[in-house]
Structure 1
Amino acid sequence: MPIARRQFLRSGSAAALVALVGEARARPAGDGRLGFESVPATLRDAVTVPPGYEARLLYPWGAPTGIAGAMPAFAPDASNSAAEQALQAGMHHDGMHFFALDGRADRGLLVMNHEYTDEQLLHPEGARPMTADKARKSLHAMGVSVIEVELGPDGWRQVLPSRFARRIHGHTPMRIAGPARGSPLLRTAADPAGERVYGTFANCAMGVTPWGTYLSCEENFQVYFGASKEALPTAGAAQQRYGLGAGSWVDYWRVDERFDLAKNPNESNRFGWVVEIDPFDPASTPVKRTALGRKHQESATCTLTKDGRLAVYMGDDSNFEYIYKFVSRDKVRPGSDAAARAANRDLLDRGTLHVARYDDDGRGRWLELRHGLGGVDADSGFAGQAEVLIHARRAADIVGATRMDRPEWIAIDPASGEVYVTLTHNVSRGRPGMPAADAANPRAENIFGGILRWREAGGDAAATSFAWDHFALAGDPDLPGAGARYPSAEADAFGCPDGLHFDTGGLLWIQTDMSGRAIGQGPMAALGNNQMLCADPASGRIKRFLVGPSGCEVTGCVLTPDRRSLFVNIQHPGETREGTSGTPNSAWPDGTLPGSARPRSATVVVRRRDGGIVGT
């Protein structure tokens, strides 16, 4: 998700692909897939779904999580305390997953991220002045929710209370694990050993391990740290690569020394990681897995290598950043029960981190990020592997990885094994002093983004080479010079793809994140509000399935195992402020007109009225 839009708070060769891996897809087309009626682009302040479908509200910001004996109701005037917010749904829902209980499709745990806060909405009197209580409430409004849900005669509902219910947030105790554990760069006065940390925040996309744990990704952590101009030391190269010292969205540092870069310069190094959470054990301690590298973490998509090890694909969501892959040293112990979670407890702590290079001929390579290789050594400022992981961006710079147009969510086609990544946009591409367009990022001042895909050599996630092409270059195809290119003439147009998810039937769900200030304006005029589309990679058809309310981002989706229920997150409705009063441009889901209610991010459930499989 871009930083600039929050300032008010804040061509490759398809032939090469086929030549390397042969026939890429065995899935037949024309089997009734995408049988729904496409939803028109619209600017309505509502959730719009196809005829024959319904969308119901499930878990909005401020709803009780379901912790026994502590279920405070949402206060419409935002007067809930920090302690109450720690027991309620956080703000700005993002990536999520459904963990079935006892293998059932009608009962499970829904685990989701809460990415950031709108301080104007979170507090009755708004963002200013910042106080210790406001900072505490704000940190409690981010992180992760674990809720229990079940399907009954009247649809899906929360199970209240639930023994699984849990909120993980900016004050939750966590362990640091992996090669960077104990590094001098992770030590603070509060944690001289560099082994424990309080909290996770800026939680965006996610992943799921084969053994049934949830991987939450810390994205734009840098904007929660700051200092006065007089006290802030000159930011070094390492800090600058992560955007530290450029100012903060929320001035925690004024009331909490932990976020003061001048007083605690190492605290920021303890964020930007993948956090592993066991959703089935509310007493378990979340773990930050340093072997996966530190970045503006977006996505942690897991798959098995041919020999049974784990590969984790990750994006770094900023302009001109990279795509990464971690491959574990050890094989995955099979299963997804408590015994399997225990057997794989440390699997993510040992392995090899790689970064991608996309060559102009439609091929690419995974470049190893290891101390002593490719110029990543003491001479370039890396004392050891811990520093390589803490400063993964700098290591990727040195080995010559390809600078991408904001790599975000990553999804793997269950039929072909191809890996898809959304490149949301990069309007700086090709501007003076900025990297020029290249084969993998072919458009200068790329306002629309696109979806790139690759297939690993031999179909093995452990391979060090791959072939790639563009699945779609997004944008309005009727707009001269837009450069839009879709895989089929039967493709609805979209802009700024972000969320990405393959269901078990092989349908690709695409979610968009156009800036609130751009929606309905200029080159985005024909695209409507942010939306979710469904694609059939075999035929190239893409159909618009859902359009969100005004100002929102549509992000995070997952289907139940029977594919008859689709959970979707609606983030920051009303993000754009209207008029001199700064009124949000949405009142969804509680109001009808802007200003009639505080807009609330929320999870909705979409089902076919006839109970059939969603998307067909």
Structure 2
Amino acid sequence: MRDTDDAASNPTDNPSLSDIIATRLSRRTLVGGGIAAVTAGFLGVAGAGAAGASGPAVGRPGGGIGSGGSGHGSSRLLGFAEVPISTADAVVVPEGYTVQVLIPWGTPLARNGPAWKKDGSNSAADQTLQVGMHHDGMHFFPTGRGSDANREGLLVVNHEYVDQKLLFPDGDAVLTPEKVGKALAAHGVSVIAIRQQGGKWTNVDSRYNRRVTGATPVTFSGPVTLRHAELASNNAALGTLNNCANGHTPWGTYLTCEENWNSYFGTTDTTWTPSAAQSRYGVSAAGGGYKWHTADARFDVAKNPKELNRFGWVVEIDPFAPKSTPVKRTALGRIKHEGATVVEHDERIVVYTGDDENGEYLYKFVGSQSWKKLRREGRSPLDHGTLYVATFADNGTGTWVPLVFGQGRLTAAAGFTDQADVLLRTRQAADAVGATKLDRPEWVTVHPRTGDVFVSLTNGTSGSTAVNPRKTNIYGHILRFREKKGNCTELSFTWDIAFYAGDPSYLPEGEFVPANQPLFGSPDGLWVDPDGRLWIETDVSNSSQNLATRKYDHIGNNQMLAADPGTGEIRRFLTGPRGSEITGITATPDGTSLFVNIQHPGEATAFFGEPTPANPRAVSNWPDFDPAGRPRAATVVIRRKDGRKIGS
């Protein structure tokens, strides 16, 4: 994601998870019995798999920095030798594995399309026909039958944001309408056909290849439609922006999620001040540094204030209908969606989503009836259901509270007008019902066998107490909960901490990390594969990465790890290039090809330096290593040399 200070915009005094953890898990409980003992108490022995389950009592430093002791256990799920911490400008994977670079930024969608220009001089028109910048969430949709399902398919990839210093030959000092147009074209989603041939994966021409950008026509469905007064912008409904993580539906569509959309709006009008709703979403005159409002009135919040209400949604795209219009599904709420993880129970869908900002909340949408029935009737399952927000109690239980107009505090007397208003102001609705603040809730993944739900809490300062195991949560942790009766449509759950990230040599921030656990920080992307491995991708801010002053000097570049939730063992599987984030993960059905995204290599870092128009390679030159080129985000394909399943 874009490197920010992650300042919170939640002014409420709602309880924070760190306060609750402090009450639930005292220092004595954690150090004396280990997190696994606490976990077993509420999840049962079969669910226990917290950090420390196979190591010494947590909270005690030792074992040597980066020793990776837990990476050399006997987990049946982790059959690879752990890779070391790295600061190299490379993707490093275990012995016996290969890495192939696929569809880097600027790859033409068709063989006769505009070629990538290494000086950054491709036009806006070119960029609409090329793979976008800063790959993030993605999913592989097989198109082949039988065993060919593992050799060909559509790779649908998010492009979260752009680095304007690298996007243009002369950087971003002066913005023009053409530059804004190119930046819009580099955002969004790429749908691109890929095929395994000659022992490698390659992108191929296909009628399905398409780009959805910040200027693509879109529509809205659910309680908030384009007829709503709050969507009455000065222009047609266009585009999707800041496409972070993702989801996919049982009926074969792709969900892309709009996260830090507020960053694109600003104004030079000194008389403008944000409304309460705008402030709650972090909208400001300065914006997030893109300065698009100086060249395109669409993004001037004073001149076109309703345009920003068209962002913050989950967007459904049908990859197999290239002429279809992307649909913003408003029943899922308007927040800074990190992802949209879809599961089902008795044909009713559930969509989990985190609101990625310090002090924000965790949500789920529960479908009202069978998704198959709704589809037969020509209705979207994403339009029919109820949105809930999570509250966490200090006894290890939790409740999903409905965000429904007329219920509880969501009434006209409390300032809400109807269900559309509740969804347009989802954060304020969640505030009103007393949702629990979390430290940047990001990706959600569900174990395919146990039903356990894992949520990455990347880092944050949503509130702590003297007895909180993490007084300042600079490293983050991974939350786990189990829905009542193992049924995702139920409205209560039990919860605890599955894994703490961090460096135990730095106390107190590094407490409760087993001394033999591989060092990592800021967990972000999560995925439990069909065999039960929990893959963990990290997003250490470039303002912290490798710096002793930020207590990240022992952790190295961002990485991907694999964990066994049943034993608590973790091993480092991959390390990335300089300045990059590891994000996005999907695989072929047989698990022999793993797709992972390398986002923003070469971005400015406090440790390595800052790229300039004169030297865009100051931080990284991955993956081309062209002496006259520039770093490019890309997907990498990881395979075993012996052709077996990844991780086994």
CA contact (8 A) 2:46 2:566 kept: no
CA contact (8 A) 2:609 2:619 kept: no
TM-superposed deviation, 1:596? 5.1
Alignment of 1:364-403 (within 5 A): 364-403=398-437
Cα distance per residue 1:250-307 (max 9 Å; x no partner): 12112222111111111101000000000111111110000000001111001112x3
Cα distance per residue 1:147-171 (max 9 Å; x no partner): 1111112311111x11110100001
1:108 to 143, 146, 153: 153
Alignment of 1:259-408 (within 5 A): 259-305=299-345, 307-333=346-372, 345-408=379-442
CA contact (8 A) 1:360 1:438 kept: no
Task: Tell me the residue number matched to 2:508.
Answer: 481
Question: Matched residue of 1:139: which SS?
Answer: helix
CA contact (8 A) 1:222 1:242 kept: yes
Question: Matched residue of 1:291: which SS?
Answer: helix
Task: Tell me the residue number matched to 2:83.
Answer: 39
- Match for 1:605: what amino acid? V
Task: Tell me the residue number matched to 2:106.
Answer: 62
Q: Find out whether 1:566 has 2:606 as its counterpart.
A: no
Q: Distance in 1 between matches of 2:244 and 2:202?
A: 24
Cα distance per residue 1:85-122 (max 9 Å; x no partner): 00111110000000011341111110010000000111
Task: Tell me the residue number matched to 1:502.
Answer: 528
Q: Distance in 2 between matches of 1:358 and 1:494?
A: 26
Question: Matched residue of 2:103: which SS?
Answer: strand
1:79 to 80, 105, 121: 121
Q: Distance in 2 between matches of 1:404 and 1:452?
A: 10
Q: Find out whether 1:546 has 2:590 as its counterpart.
A: no
- Match for 1:51: what amino acid? E
Question: Matched residue of 2:406: which SS?
Answer: coil
Q: Distance in 2 between matches of 1:198 and 1:93?
A: 21
Q: Distance in 1 between matches of 2:437 and 2:222?
A: 27
CA contact (8 A) 2:221 2:327 kept: yes
Would the alpha carbon gap of residues 279 and 604 (structure 1) be closer, same or farther in structure 2, given more than 3 Å must change?
same
TM-superposed deviation, 1:381? 2.0
Q: Find out whether 1:471 has 2:501 as its counterpart.
A: no
Task: Tell me the residue number matched to 1:529.
Answer: 557
Task: Tell me the residue number matched to 1:603.
Answer: 635
More strand by share: 1
CA contact (8 A) 2:356 2:442 kept: yes
CA contact (8 A) 2:375 2:381 kept: no
The answer to which of 95-104 and 393-402 deviates more is 95-104
Would the alpha carbon gap of residues 542 and 344 (structure 1) be closer, same or farther in structure 2, given more than 3 Å must change?
farther
Task: Tell me the residue number matched to 1:416.
Answer: 450
- Match for 1:533: what amino acid? L
- Match for 2:583: what amino acid? T
Would the alpha carbon gap of residues 156 and 345 (structure 1) be closer, same or farther in structure 2, given more than 3 Å must change?
farther
2:170 to 111, 125, 132: 125
Task: Tell me the residue number matched to 1:457.
Answer: 484
Which stretches in structure 2 are left out of the alignment for 5+ residues?
Answer: 8-20, 26-35, 50-72
CA contact (8 A) 1:490 1:542 kept: no
CA contact (8 A) 2:48 2:565 kept: no
CA contact (8 A) 1:491 1:540 kept: no
TM-score (norm 2): 0.86
Task: Tell me the residue number matched to 1:244.
Answer: 283
CA contact (8 A) 2:602 2:611 kept: no
Would the alpha carbon gap of residues 579 and 359 (structure 1) be closer, same or farther in structure 2, given more than 3 Å must change?
closer
TM-score (norm 1): 0.91
Would the alpha carbon gap of residues 239 and 172 (structure 1) be closer, same or farther in structure 2, given more than 3 Å must change?
same
Which stretches in structure 1 are left out of the alignment for 5+ residues?
Answer: 192-196, 335-339, 430-434
Question: Matched residue of 1:357: which SS?
Answer: strand
Q: Distance in 2 between matches of 1:272 and 1:347?
A: 20
CA contact (8 A) 2:139 2:155 kept: yes
- Match for 2:589: what amino acid? P
Q: Distance in 2 between matches of 1:530 and 1:449?
A: 14
Q: Find out whether 1:155 has 2:200 as its counterpart.
A: yes
Would the alpha carbon gap of residues 341 and 529 (structure 1) be closer, same or farther in structure 2, given more than 3 Å must change?
farther
- Match for 1:267: what amino acid? E
- Match for 2:445: what amino acid? A
CA contact (8 A) 1:311 1:326 kept: yes
- Match for 1:451: what amino acid? I
- Match for 1:528: what amino acid? G
Would the alpha carbon gap of residues 442 and 341 (structure 1) be closer, same or farther in structure 2, given more than 3 Å must change?
farther
CA contact (8 A) 1:211 1:344 kept: no
Question: Matched residue of 2:170: which SS?
Answer: coil
Q: Distance in 2 between matches of 1:558 and 1:284?
A: 24
TM-superposed deviation, 1:465? 0.6
- Where relative contact order (Cα < 8 A, 6+ residues apart) is larger, the structure is 2
- Match for 1:318: what amino acid? E
TM-superposed deviation, 1:540? 1.1
TM-superposed deviation, 1:485? 3.2
TM-superposed deviation, 1:438? 9.9
CA contact (8 A) 1:333 1:344 kept: no
TM-superposed deviation, 1:494? 0.8
Question: Matched residue of 1:330: which SS?
Answer: coil
Task: Tell me the residue number matched to 2:474.
Answer: 447
- Match for 1:398: what amino acid? A
CA contact (8 A) 1:26 1:416 kept: no
Question: Matched residue of 1:477: which SS?
Answer: coil
Task: Tell me the residue number matched to 2:60.
Answer: none
- Match for 2:140: what amino acid? F
Task: Give the RMSD, CA atoms, in angstroms.
Answer: 2.3
TM-superposed deviation, 1:480? 3.0
Q: Distance in 2 between matches of 1:347 and 1:185?
A: 24
- Match for 1:207: what amino acid? G
- Match for 1:71: what amino acid? G
1:199 to 239, 260, 264: 239
1:139 to 184, 191, 197: 184
CA contact (8 A) 2:471 2:509 kept: no
TM-superposed deviation, 1:437? 4.8
Cα distance per residue 1:190-218 (max 9 Å; x no partner): 35xxxxx2100100000111111100000
Query: How many matched pairs?
Result: 587
TM-superposed deviation, 1:519? 1.4
- Match for 2:91: what amino acid? V
